[in-house]
C-alpha cells in the first residue's frame, strides 16, 4: 500500500491517507484507546516518521541485495565465469563490486545495518566506468539475467539493472548524509528557502 503522508495538516479535523487507512481498513478509531497516552493517530505519525527515516537507506539497501541476487552466485561455475566477464568488461572499476574484493560476509553486514557500504561501492564502480565499459558491463549483466522471471535481458536488461543499482545506491548515499544533520541545520534550510 502506498499512501501520501503529510506531517500535519492545515485543517485540524482533516485526516490524511494513512489515518484514513487505519480507520477504514483496520477499523481503528484515531483516538483509540480513549484517554491513552499513545493513540492510533500517534501511531500513524510515528509510522510516517519511521518510513521517512528508513525508506531510503534500508529499503534501498534491500533492493540492492535483490539486484545482486538476480546475478549468478559467486563460487558457482556460472558465477566464476560471470564475475570474470564483469572484470574483463569493467576493468579496474569492477574491483569495487568484485566478490573476492568485497569480502565474504559483505552482504551480511548490509543486512545487519551497515547502511552505506554497498552503495558507495556501486557508485564508485559506475562512476569509474568509461561509456564503452558501461555498455560492455550492461551486456554481461543482461546476458546473465533470467529472462523468464525478469522479463528482459540482453543489453537493455543490463542497462536497467545498472540504472536501478545506481539510483538505489544514490538514495542510500543521500539518506546517509542526514545522520550528520541537526535540527538546527534543518531549520536553517527552511529559513533560507522562506527568505529566498
Q: What is the pTM of this model?
A: 0.68
* Domain boundaries along the sequence of the chain: 56-180
Report whether pLDDT(50) > 60: no
For 153, 175, 178, 183, 189, the CA distances from 52, given in Å and listed in that order, are 33, 10, 11, 15, 18
Averaged pLDDT, 80-86:
96
Cβ contacts of 155-163, under 8 Å, gap ≥ 24:
161/67, 161/70, 162/126, 162/134, 162/137, 162/138
Report whether pLDDT(196) > 50: yes
Averaged pLDDT, 96-115:
74
Report whether pLDDT(160) > 70: yes
Least confident of 28-32, 98-102, 127-131, 150-154: 28-32
User: Counting every residue, how long is the chain?
Assistant: 196
Estimate to the nearest angstrom the gap between the alpha carbon of 64 and the chain centroid. Answer: 7
pLDDT interval class at 72 (50, 70, 90)? very high
Amino acid at each position: 500500500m502506498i499512501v501520501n503522508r503529510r506531517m500535519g495538516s492545515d485543517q485540524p479535523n482533516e485526516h490524511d491517507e494513512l489515518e484514513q487507512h487505519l480507520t477504514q481498513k483496520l477499523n481503528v478509531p484515531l483516538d483509540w484507546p480513549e484517554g491513552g497516552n499513545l493513540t492510533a493517530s500517534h501511531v500513524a505519525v510515528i509510522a510516517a516518521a519511521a518510513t521517512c527515516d528508513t525508506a531510503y537507506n534500508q529499503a534501498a539497501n534491500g533492493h540492492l541485495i535483490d539486484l545482486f541476487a538476480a546475478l549468478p552466485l559467486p563460487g558457482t561455475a556460472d558465477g566464476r565465469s560471470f564475475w570474470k566477464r564483469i572484470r574483463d568488461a569493467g576493468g579496474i572499476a569492477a574491483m569495487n563490486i568484485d566478490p573476492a574484493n568485497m569480502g565474504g560476509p559483505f552482504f551480511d553486514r548490509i543486512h545487519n545495518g551497515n547502511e552505506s557500504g554497498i552503495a558507495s561501492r556501486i557508485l564508485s564502480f559506475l562512476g569509474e566506468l568509461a561509456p564503452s565499459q558501461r555498455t560492455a558491463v550492461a551486456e554481461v549483466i543482461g546476458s546473465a539475467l533470467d529472462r523468464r522471471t525478469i522479463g528482459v535481458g540482453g543489453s537493455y536488461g543490463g542497462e536497467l539493472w545498472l540504472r536501478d543499482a545506481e539510483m538505489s545506491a544514490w538514495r542510500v548515499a543521500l539518506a546517509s548524509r542526514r545522520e550528520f544533520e541537526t535540527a538546527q541545520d534543518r531549520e536553517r534550510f527552511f529559513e533560507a528557502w522562506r527568505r529566498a
